[in-house]
Amino acid sequence: MRAFVFPGQGSQKVGMGAELADNSAIARATFEEVDDALSQNLSTIMRDGPEGELTLTENAQPAIMANAIATLRVLESEFGVSLTDAGDCVAGHSLGEYTALCAVGAFSLAETALLLKLRGQAMQEAVPVGEGAMCALLGADLEKAEELARAAAEGQVCEIANDNDPSQVVLSGHAAAIERAVALVKDHGIKRGIPLPVSAPFHCSLMQPAADRMAEALSDTPPQELALPLYANVTAAATDDPREEQDLLVQQVTGRVRWRESVLAMRAAGVEHFVELGGKVLGPMIGRIDKDAQATSAITMEDLEALAKEIG
């Protein structure tokens, strides 16, 4: 069995998608479609920057999605590999869940771009700049991270945002609580705590205003039928029910990204090969979660050509 997976925020970089666009009319058309949907030259920001503009949450989220869908469309159109024929399920890390839904036909490309633009804006506006923060814990399992979060909270929000792999957990919450968490890592047997360069505390209860806005947006643009099952971030379980997925996308804004558990659930279901499109972030994580899992990451034409041969 094979899963197609899609990266989340942090995988953006200036120049993303340029090589695909230079070599593929399909990729260029994909980026133009997103530009038209957003009434914005997002593809220019992706190609040329400035980096600060691309890193803005409201730009980074649709940009990462556009790059991944362009990669998928090139794979399908130019290398003859159909996601629905070659894959058995899909998943995405945080915003990547929207990309996965686009890939299986639950949202159109234009709908996905608009939803992610709004999601980025809503998450940015939910908490005043400087009041929230996030940190990555290296050498931390879930139990140690939970103990640290409880100790650092002191009446404020300090919650697990991402359970990425056995060696990396991310905390999110009030800035002062996250500072305390970083200072306390050694006391909890954790190797390092690294403050993350993010503009808002994603995936914690402080994001409730953003969840409310997404609930409204998703009621106007609900997901349609999924061509393949999707493993959702907040449950680490498969669903092919659009109504259930609509609710899970709302929960996802404040909920934990259970990526480690999602990969283990896909492995338990029989997935042997994970294909990451549009990034090279999830592949290494998957390798740390299960060293026996096969993971391939593709972002260039050369990568896609090799992937097509690998899939056969």
Q: How far apart are CA 312 and CA 310, in angstroms?
A: 5
Tokens read off for 173: 């919450």
10 Å Cβ neighbour count for 203? 24
Residues 224, 213, 226, CA angle at the centre, nearest 5°?
Answer: 15
| Marked catalytic residue, from 24, 94, 199, 262 | 94
- To the query of whether residue 94 is one of the catalytic residues in this protein, the response is yes
pLDDT in the model for residue 170: 97
Location of each CATH 3.40.366.10 domain in the chain:
2-126+206-311
The single residue of 174, 188, 203, 262 carrying the catalytic annotation is 203
- Position 155 scores a pLDDT of 96
- Closest by CA to 159, choosing from 249, 61, 237, 257, is 257
Closest by alpha carbon to 13, among 282, 279, 283, 298? Answer: 279
**For every one of its 312 residues, what pLDDT tens digit does the chain have, with 9 covering 90 and above?**
999 999 998 889 999 999 999 999 999 999 999 999 999 999 999 999 999 899 889 999 999 999 999 999 999 999 999 999 999 999 999 999 999 999 999 999 999 999 999 999 999 999 998 899 999 999 999 999 999 999 999 999 999 999 999 999 999 999 999 999 999 999 999 999 999 988 899 999 999 999 999 999 999 999 999 999 999 999 999 999 999 999 999 999 999 999 999 999 999 999 999 999 999 999 999 999 999 999 999 999 999 999 999 998
How confident is the model at residue 114, as a pLDDT?
98
pLDDT of residue 10: 83
CB count, 10 Å around CB of 183?
11
- Asked if 205 is an active-site residue, the reply is no
Yes or no: is domain 2-126+206-311 CATH 3.40.366.10? yes
- Residues 256, 235: Cα–Cα separation, whole Å: 9
Query: Which among 282, 222, 210, 204 has a CA at the least distance from the CA of 7?
Result: 282
What pLDDT shows up at residue 129? 85
Alpha-carbon distance of 306 to 312, in angstroms, equals: 10
Polymer length in residues for the chain: 312
Cβ atoms of residues 141 and 191 within 8 Å: no
CATH 3.30.70.250 domain extents, the chain: 132-198
Fold for domain 132-198?
Alpha-Beta Plaits (3.30.70)
